[in-house]
Amino acid sequence: MTEQSYSEKVMDHFLHPRNAGEIPDASGIGNVGNVICGDVMRMYIKVDNGIIVDAKFKTFGCGAAISTSSMVTEMVKGKTVKEALEVSNKAVAEALGGLPAVKMHCSVLAEQALKAAISDYYKRQGKDVDKGSNSQ
Ligand code: FES
């Protein structure tokens, strides 16, 4: 995999990740990992009145994993929790100007991390969760 395979936007989010870090008083935290590549992602969301007012991530993984984490946190800020559940890995990849086929699983990890954080949020609210489907 060469750098040239990545779009400018992917490289930009990889080199200058948005929302890297953690939210100490997060409303929900999601931890996911890919057993094949070993990359792991942790996503934090802060919810106020049903709106995601902040999102942050910690990713130990490849460039595409970092870029998709960065992009997904940007995409969900300001959305309702329900709207955020609709954010698919494909939408994240498209927002980044596309990903090489072998890197699509990295965007799946970002979608899963978001859904895990939302699931944790619902659980803390005492609500049942539909985690949604893996839509690679
Ligand atoms: Fe595993 Fe990118 S190579 S998330």
Active site residue 37: yes
Side chain identity at residue 57, one-letter code: F
Ligand 1 atom nearest 36 alpha carbon = 1
Where do the structural domains in the chain lie, given as residue ranges? 8-122
Residue 82 has pLDDT above 70, yes or no: yes
pLDDT band at 127 (very low <50, low <70, confident <90, very high): confident
| CATH class held by domain 8-122 | alpha beta
Residue 128 above 80 pLDDT? no
Q: How far is CA 14 from CA 50, 53, 70, 110, in A?
A: 29, 23, 8, 14
Does the CB atom of residue 62 touch ligand 1 within 6 A?
yes
Q: What is residue 130's predicted lDDT score, i.e. its pLDDT?
A: 60
Whether the per-residue pLDDT at 54 is higher than 70: the answer is yes
Question: Above 50 in pLDDT, residue 136?
Answer: no
